[in-house]
Chains A and B, each alone.
Chain A
């Protein structure tokens, strides 16, 4: 699911108008994944208020990601005469190449990978008096994943346009085709059970309500649900087996997740206009039948700078976001060798007990002599979890199994009427 794009506001003229929105994301995790993501969107606004837009995006992803395995607990052997002190590991999507375990016996093993994703999105909407229908379509393809989806939304403005009711639905017909074939779940990752595409279907629905409370204040409440069916397992992740006494890793098995997931969330938002500045505040509560629950608090403060050396209509918008998540029921850092293997289990840290703190800011301005608007957004993200679980043994108790991850992202965006 559900990488929503949203339609940008387009300046309207009596004979219609067009707008170009371009952006570039530079994203990097310390010692892990790097992403470069350019996107281009063209929007055409017609005199009757109808709008049609198309967006093309690319994701260039390289680097490393945790494999799900525990630290080996064994210092790597010293190679006589020097040389690279590494071990190769199975590569993730993108095929070819190998990974390496770090020279630290307590470091989290990672797998190197590279991938390229292309995505195309089309959106249309048209107001019919108080009712505005919208339609959208999506197609994306990467080395081991394809997504085809569509969505429809209907908005109704009532009570002198002070209240807006929205309802929407979407579907995705995705397919997963892991590099090297699909691994047999809960077994040695070298056992391949096939090379066919594994379907994954997502159906979602949303209802929303927004209300203008005063000249300066509007609030909104959204509720959504989605049902996922099919291949939901992460094809390259593994779960380590620990020696019952020493805690040293003695093997690993592929993970296995349920074939169905019901997700729910409520999103409450507030936008308040001060004398010149604007305060944006939102809270999202999420829960699903995998046992994951989360709370997200997001705060932005748009401070108007007016005319500066950079240009006119400048603003600075600090951003704070805090996220907390409880683990999935079947999440585990590792299994003790000889213990019963559950039918479903995963060591993917994204399903574990984690927190994310974000601190950033956006600088926006319209450069002198040009009609376009620039936005520069820089953010620092720190993700951390509870890395000392009670179900590990031996040497694993000495390691932080969820060390903090430092992430930086920079977005350059430019919007210009055509």
Chain B
């Protein structure tokens, strides 16, 4: 693994630990009104998100999203 890749993984791990620590302050059930909204999602518009990922997959050399799998195409 390259030094840069190691730094990125370390940063992601740090964020994960930080998030875990912060989450220990419990959010009570009656405080989850906003969290229950449909728009409180990492992909609030999954249809448009899928279209975007297809566009950038065709135009750029990278991949990666919230999901795994899917389909290939001759566009890249």
Contact = CB atoms under 8 A, between A and B. Distances in A.
A117 interface: yes
Contact of A6 (B16, B37, B60, B66): B66
A176 B5 CA distance: 32
A121 B68 CA distance: 13
A215 B42 contact: no
Interface residues of B, dominant DSSP? loop
A278 B46 contact: no
Interface string B38-76: 111111111111110111110111111111111111111
A409 interface: yes
B40 A278 contact: yes
Sorting the interface of chain B by its residue count into under 10, 10 to 19, 20 to 34 or 35 or more gives: 35 or more
Interface residues of A, dominant DSSP? strand
Nearest to A21: B47
Contacts of B47: 8, 21, 23, 39, 41, 375, 413, 415
Contacts of A297: none
B12 A212 contact: no
Contacts, number: 252
Given A211-B23, A212-B23, A171 B39 contact: no
Contacts of B35: 212, 215, 218, 273
A142 B66 contact: no
Given A4-B67, A226-B63, A351-B61, A211 B55 contact: no
A86 interface: no
Given A4-B65, A149-B69, A208-B66, A219 B19 contact: yes
Given A215-B31, A287-B4, A356-B56, A328 B61 contact: yes
A150 B68 CA distance: 9
29 contacts: A1-B70, A5-B70, A6-B43, A6-B49, A6-B66, A9-B41, A23-B47, A27-B55, A142-B74, A172-B69, A172-B72, A200-B72, A202-B72, A204-B69, A205-B68, A223-B9, A263-B62, A266-B9, A267-B66, A273-B40, A287-B2, A323-B56, A325-B60, A350-B59, A350-B61, A350-B76, A362-B45, A375-B48, A383-B59
Given A168-B68, A267-B66, A269-B42, 13 more contacts: A2-B68, A3-B54, A39-B51, A140-B72, A149-B69, A151-B69, A168-B69, A172-B72, A204-B69, A213-B23, A220-B42, A354-B61, A375-B45
